[in-house]
Structure formats: C-alpha cells, structure tokens
Amino acid sequence: MNAPAYNFAYLDEQTKRMIRRAILKAIAIPGYQVPFASREMPMPYGWGTGGVQVTAAILGPQDVLKVIDQGSDDTTNAISIRKFFAKTAGVATTTSTDEATVIQTRHRIPETSLHANQVLVYQVPIPEPLRFLEPRETETRRMHALAEYGLMHVKLYEDIARFGHIATAYAYPVKVNARYVMDPSPTPKFDNPKMDNCPALQLFGAGREKRIYAIPPYTQVVSLDFEDHPFEPYRFNAPCALCAAENSYLDEIVTDDQGSRMFVCSDTDYCEGRQAAGHHGALSAAPYKDKAQEASNG
Amino acid sequence: MTTIAELPPGFVDKVLSAQSTFRSVMDAMARPGSVQRIVPMAGTPDTMMRGTAAIALTLFDHDTPLWLDARMSESSDVLKWLKFHTGAPVVPDSSIAAFALIGDGGALPSLERFALGTNEYPDRSTTLIIQVDSLDAGRSFELRGPGIDGVATLLASIKPFDLFERLRFNETLFPRGIDVVLVADDAVVAIPRSTRVMSKGG
C-alpha cells in the first residue's frame, strides 16, 4: 500500500471545518480572538502550529505558498513549513512575495506591498495583548468586552516615565476598527503601519493558546500612542549592506569575533530583488566581482 | 418516502470541494458586498439552492446545531439530506443555533430570537444563511465597513425587504450581532456584523 498517509494539507476534514468556522467569525469581528480546538501538529509549539493550522484550513491546490521566518525564506522554520505543505498538499511554493497567494509569516510583514488576492497568515505565540498586565483569562475577556484598555495605556506611559519614550519595539499593541486592542504578534513595530488599510486579508493563528483572529482587508489599524508621544516606527539608521535599501527593516549580523557587523534587509526576497535590479550596498559581493573583472582586464 | 440511496449526493470530491467552497465564503466574508461564486456541485434536496447545499457540506457537522425555517423544514428530504451528509443536529430553539437556514426570507423571525453571542464571547452567535431571489439585480445598496475599500455597491433582490434595516441593530450590539450569508443559486454575498448598509433605492 503506497496510498498517501495524510489527508490533503494534513488536517482531517472535521478539524478543518472547525477552524474554518472560527476564521469566518474572526473576520466578522475584527481583532477579536476566537477560541478554537487547536490540534497537535507534527512540530513543537512555538514553531508555528497555529499558523500551520490556519494555512492548512484555507490552502487549495491552486494556491502558491510562501513561508517566511523573520523575513527570511531560507531559515529552518520557513523551509520546513514550506516543505510540509509541498508534501502534504502538493501546492506550488515560491519565495516571491508578488507571486504568492498565501504567505505564512513569523515576525515580519513583507516589504513588498501586498495585494487583494493574497492572504497573510501570522504565527502567534501569545495572542492576548493584555496577558502580561493581567494573567487571568476571565479578567482579560471582561476587559475586552468592556473595551477597558486603560491598563495598556498605563503600560505605555510607564515606558515614557522610565525611558523618555515608548520603548516597546515589537508586539506593539494596535486597535483594530476602533474597537479591539490586538497583539500584532511579535512583528517589529516598524511593520505596524503596513497592517492599516491593507488590501490583503490578515489571519492570525495561535496554536498553544488556541486562538484565531483576523483583520479584514481595508480595515483601520491604529498603533496605540499619546498626543505628545506619537507612534514612531523604529528603523536602524543605515542602508542595507547588500542592496543599499534605505527604507527596509534591517537585521544586524555579526561577521567575526572582532566586533564587526553588517546590517542587511531582513526580507530576503526584497533584498534579492533589489540586488537583481542592480542596487548594490557597501558589502555586496558584486563590486568585488566587478573589481576582479577590471583587474583581469587590466 | 425517500431512502438514503435515493437522496441527492454530496460533493464528488469532499476535500477539495469543501476547500473551494470555503474560500468563496471566506472571500465573501472578508469583502462584504462582493459577489463570490461557488463552483463545486452537489446534489440539492428540494428547496435548497446549490450554494446553500455546498455551504452546508462545507461548514456543518455534529458540532453545529441548525435551525431551519418553516420552508426548509417542511421537506423531509432536506432534513434527511442534512442528517445523512452533515450529521448536524436540527434544533427547534433558534437561540442556540450555530447556523440558521432560511428558505423563505419573507417569514424571517425577529433577529433577537437568534444567538447574538455575549460580550465576552461574541463569536457564539448564529450565522444566518438566507436564500434570496437575486444578487446581481434589484434594489441598490451601499455598504461600508471593514473589508470594503470606501464604498461597495450591491444589487440585490431579497426578502425580507427590510432585512438591512433590521440588521442595523448590529451597530449598537457590536461586538455582539448576527452575520448573514445571502445565497442566490451559486452566488454568495456575506454581510458580517461590522458592515453598515444603506439603501440607495432604485
């Protein structure tokens, strides 16, 4: 018997129905966390079990899947999830943001603008933005029910009192459609403005915490702030060392044990696309190639 | 008396048909007012439209109590078909239903009689699936809200005529409320509770 051992996209149909119903409610109530009966997946919690279940429930044979981990298509988590769906669903995969119809992501939103025929699926570790302020689920539920978000503003205020500015740099809380305060998952706050009025549907899956939530397309997403301390997306002030991009989010990469480091785009597809289009940064290999060419000619 | 062997069939390919149907419904819910098409075919008992049957096979199971209006429940074939293909329990009390199938919108009961969810768990609400005459001709409506880039226009011929006026209670109830899926043959339009609908007449 060589029959496939799995159903299409791994999950059984009853599980998919349950997840699909949760996704529909999540879309109908933007930013609200819908409880769902999260299943054990063949990967550990923290590796994107929530995102994988959401992706498995929406994925079809016509889809083209892209998976990124911290912006990169080439890291272990991204590769293993991409291969997981290539094997269990037989879908086409890509690293191109433009070509993908479903993008599963951990901790980044692609630099390239998303379009209306795409779904962005986030892997979420802790879906409850109030959890570290109030550990009891019964209490945080009531706070959401009453839209009682003063505590979150107190937390941001304490940042200002202690550091002089809002020091929260990732998982920066947002308000969706002027109602629910939502955790955008541990994306850098640099990415927060991309969630606002985004043409693509955004779905969030938290496997261990058993929650699904969503931002429909063209929905208002506002980062919490104060009039005298407005929200500011943070970016390290340097061009990408490989593609010279001035407006992308950068990773710091240590290059030796002498303290040398380079700053490069965390979005590998974006960076490679720019290099292919002829943009070269200070540490790009291309100038050396050019120099070698010149040396051999001379 | 219909035997199981004589019942209209379900999906030919359960897995991929359910996936395709779900994506149509998900896109409809994510982009209120947009008309989505349901491609996969299934047998349709009596009063049930193609779209309704496909949605039933995609979303209903033993975890989803169903409420049927008089038009739907008058046919024993519909009851048998739903029971055989989905296993969903049909309940007489609309306030505990996960889904309600409405065959005759003219006799739609008061919306307060369905589950509206609670403030803590607004997702525990009834999704109404209403069969309508047309989703590409008829009166003109303007829709605003999440999922819509500015304003969406919907042409629809629906009963009850005052459905969207009645759904206005979603505004004050939010985050509680009723989500509606309109079906006309293979066309689907969703009106989630976050959508505000204005009649333009015509």
Give residue A276's identity as a one-letter amino acid code.
A
Q: Residue A2 — very low, low, confident or very high, per pLDDT cuts 50/70/90?
A: low
Pairing of β B196-201 and β B134-144: antiparallel
Alpha carbon distance B102, B69 (integer Å): 5
- The answer to whether residue A138 is domain-embedded is yes
**DSSP β-bridge partners for residue A67:** A104
Are A272 and A139 in the same domain?
Answer: no
Least CA distance to B14: which residue of chain A? Answer: A13
| Contact call for A25 and B16, based on CB within 8 A | no
A261 in the same domain as A187: no
Summarised one tens digit per residue, pLDDT across range A61-80 is 999 999 999 999 999 999 99
Residue A31 a catalytic site member: yes
Q: Looking at the structure, tell me whether residues A115 and A263 fall in a common domain.
A: no
Q: What is the pLDDT along chain B (202 residues), one digit of tens a residue?
A: 567 778 999 999 999 999 999 999 999 999 999 999 999 988 898 899 999 999 999 999 999 999 999 999 998 999 999 999 999 999 999 999 999 999 999 999 999 999 999 999 999 999 999 999 999 999 999 999 999 999 999 999 999 999 999 999 999 999 999 999 999 999 999 999 999 999 886 5
pLDDT tier at A285 (50, 70, 90 boundaries)?
A: confident
- Our count of domains for chain A comes to 2
SS3 B9: coil
- Is A5 part of any domain? no
CATH code of the domain in which B20 resides:
3.40.50.11310
Do A82 and A168 share a domain, yes or no? yes
Residues A94-147: tens digit of each pLDDT: 999 999 999 999 999 999 999 999 999 999 999 999 999 999 999 999 999 999
What is the per-residue pLDDT for B156?
96
Q: Give the per-residue SS3 of B39-96.
A: CCCCCCCCCCCHHHHHHHHHHCCCCCCEEECHHHHCCHHHHHHHHHHCCCCECCCHHH
Residue A117, phi then psi, degrees to nearest 5: -95, 20
Write the ipTM.
Answer: 0.97
CATH number at residue A209: 3.40.50.11310
Task: Give me the number of domains chain B comprises.
Answer: 1
CA B190 to each of CA A239, A265, B180: distance values in angstroms, whole numbers, following the listed order:
45, 40, 6
Strand order in the sheet with B66-68: B36-37, B187-191, B179-184, B127-131, B99-102, B66-68
A77 in a domain, yes or no? yes
In a domain, A89, yes or no: yes
The reply to whether A90 touches chain B by the CB within 8 Å rule is: no
- The answer to the question of residue A264 being in a domain is yes
Read off the DSSP letter of residue B171: H
Q: Decide if A113 is inside a domain.
A: yes
**Chain A contacts of B192, Cβ < 8 Å?**
27-29
Q: Are residues A20 and A150 in the same domain?
A: yes
Q: What is the mean pLDDT of residues A274-288?
A: 83
Confidence of residue A4 (pLDDT cuts 50, 70, 90): low
Q: Point out the catalytic residue in the list A31, A48, A51, A205.
A: A31
A6 is a domain residue: no
- The share of chain A scoring above pLDDT 90, in percent, equals 90
What's the token pair of residue B94? 């609309």
B149 inside 8 A of chain A by CB: yes
Whether A172 maps to a domain, the answer reads yes
Report the gap between the CA of A112 and the closest CA in chain B (Å): 20
Domain enclosing residue A290, as ranges = 250-297
Domain range spanning residue B193? Answer: 4-106+113-201
Same domain, A274 and A204: no
Task: Provide, as residue numbers in chain B, all residues whose Cβ is less than 8 Å from the Cβ of A57.
Answer: 22
Q: Which residue of A has its CA nearest to B57?
A: A17
